[in-house]
Amino acid sequence: MKIVVIGAGVAGLAIGWRLAEAGQDVVLLERGQPGRGATWASAGMLAVTAELQNSHAAEIEFANYSNTLWPEFAKQIEVLSGQNIGYVPHGALILAEDAPALAALERQAIQPGSTLVRADQARQIAPLVTGDIAGGLWSPHEARVDNRRLALALTAAFSKAGGRLLANEAVVRIERDDGRAAAVRTPFGLYPADAVLLAAGAWSGQVEPAVAPVTPVKGQMILLTPPPGQSPSAAVIWGNGIYAVPRGNALAIGATVEDVGFDTALTDEGRDRLRQAAEKLMPALRGWTLADHWAGLRPGSPDGLPLLGPTAIEGLWLASGQYRNGILFAPAVAETMRDQILGRAPVNPAFDPRRFAA
Ligand X SMILES: Cc1cc2nc3c(=O)[nH]c(=O)nc-3n(C[C@H](O)[C@H](O)[C@H](O)COP(=O)(O)OP(=O)(O)OC[C@H]3O[C@@H](n4cnc5c(N)ncnc54)[C@H](O)[C@@H]3O)c2cc1C
Q: Please, which residue, 103 or 262, has the CB nearer to ligand X?
A: 262
Whole-number minimum distance, CB 120 to ligand X, in Å? 28
Q: Please, which residue, 74 or 202, has the CB nearer to ligand X?
A: 202
* Alpha helices, H only, 86-236: 99-107, 119-125, 147-160
Q: What share of the chain is helix, strand, coil (3-state, %, to 5)?
A: 35, 30, 40
| Residue 64, Cβ density class (10 Å: 0-12 exposed, 13-18 middle, ≥19 buried) | middle
Please state, in angstroms and rounded to a whole number, the distance separating the CA atoms of residues 101 and 96.
5
User: Helix, strand or coil for residue 21?
Assistant: helix
Please state, in angstroms and rounded to a whole number, the distance separating the CA atoms of residues 341 and 331.
16
Site for ligand X in 145-164 (CB under 6 A): none
Binding mask 203-232 for ligand X (x = CB under 6 A): x---x-----------x-x-----------
Whole-number minimum distance, CB 14 to ligand X, in Å? 8
Please state, in angstroms and rounded to a whole number, the distance separating the CA atoms of residues 200 and 36.
12
Whole-number minimum distance, CB 261 to ligand X, in Å? 14
- Indicate the residue type of 91: G
Please state, in angstroms and rounded to a whole number, the distance separating the CA atoms of residues 142 and 157.
25
Whole-number minimum distance, CB 241 to ligand X, in Å? 14
- Residue 11 engages ligand X in binding (rule: CB under 6 A): yes
Q: Please, which residue, 102 or 193, has the CB nearer to ligand X?
A: 193
Binding mask 326-355 for ligand X (x = CB under 6 A): xxx---------------------------
Q: List Cβ neighbours of 178 (8 Å cut-off, separation of 6 or more).
A: none
Residues in contact with ligand X, counted by CB under 6 A, come to a total of 44
Whole-number minimum distance, CB 99 to ligand X, in Å? 28
Site for ligand X in 171-190 (CB under 6 A): 171
Please state, in angstroms and rounded to a whole number, the distance separating the CA atoms of residues 136 and 98.
10
Cα–Cα distances (Å) from 335 to 219, 233, 347, in that order, read 27, 33, 12
Q: Please, which residue, 10 or 126, has the CB nearer to ligand X?
A: 10
- Indicate the residue type of 38: A
Site for ligand X in 27-56 (CB under 6 A): 29-32, 36-39, 41-45, 47
Whole-number minimum distance, CB 204 to ligand X, in Å? 7
Taking CB under 6 A as the binding criterion, the range among 85-93, 262-270, 294-302, 338-346 that sits at the site for ligand X is: 294-302
Binding site for ligand X (CB under 6 A): 6-12, 29-32, 36-39, 41-45, 47, 170-171, 199-203, 207, 219, 221, 254-255, 296, 298-299, 320, 322-328
